Amino acid sequence: MESNQPHFKLILGSSSIARRQILTDMGYQFTLMSADIDEKSIRKEKPEELVLALAVAKADAIVSKLLTTECANEEQPTVLIASDTVVVYEDAVREKPSSVEEAREYIRGYSKGHTATVSSVAVTNLKTGVRKGGVDRVEIYFNEIPEETIEKLIEEGMVLKVAGALLIEHPLILPCVKEVVGTTDSVMGLPKELTEKLLKEVLAST
């Protein structure tokens, strides 16, 4: 696919395979950097505030690793995308499950129920220092999730690595999804529309 960005360099501040795939699908070429931050040390009351604070903390950690003076002096602007996603279930924020038991309990709770994801994006123009952020919420409704499906997901292990043990795009879970109010890319961790909007805003400042 042709690149969308002849006039700027792009860094994705994430090690997430899903986010990498989404950004590639959007037609961008980018380099990867991940932020090593203690996510548990950042607590906010509202999920929207939490994910934005986490995305900003990730961006700050990556910016401090980079030679920002070098980025500022380059002719082409360098833009950093950082993001975070949590699952919200009955008003409680769910991050990655801490155990197999917790993952199983999470998925069982979704059966014939409803949950939501809240994703944040923070985009920083390293040349100008301008940063824009936003959040996107998606509501997800489920049919029954059979016990056999839950055990297969646990055995496979991928659900242990994602917020709320939620993988709606997974072939085992997909038939159990009744309705998604919002976009799948947002659930997977990088809402395309919001990301495009923020990229335009920070580049307008160059």
135: left (phi over 0), alpha (psi -120 to 50) or beta: beta
* Distances 103 to 55, 57, 68, 118, 185 between C-alpha atoms, Å: 24, 26, 40, 19, 22
User: Which one of 36, 38, 60, 84 is the catalytic residue?
Assistant: 84
Segment holding 111, helix H or strand E: none
Give CA–CA dist 182/192, Å, rounded. Answer: 11
Catalytic residue list contains 84:
yes
Show the beta-strand stretches assigned E in the chain: 9-12, 31-32, 78-89, 92-94, 114-125, 131-142, 177-181
Positions annotated as catalytic residues are: 84
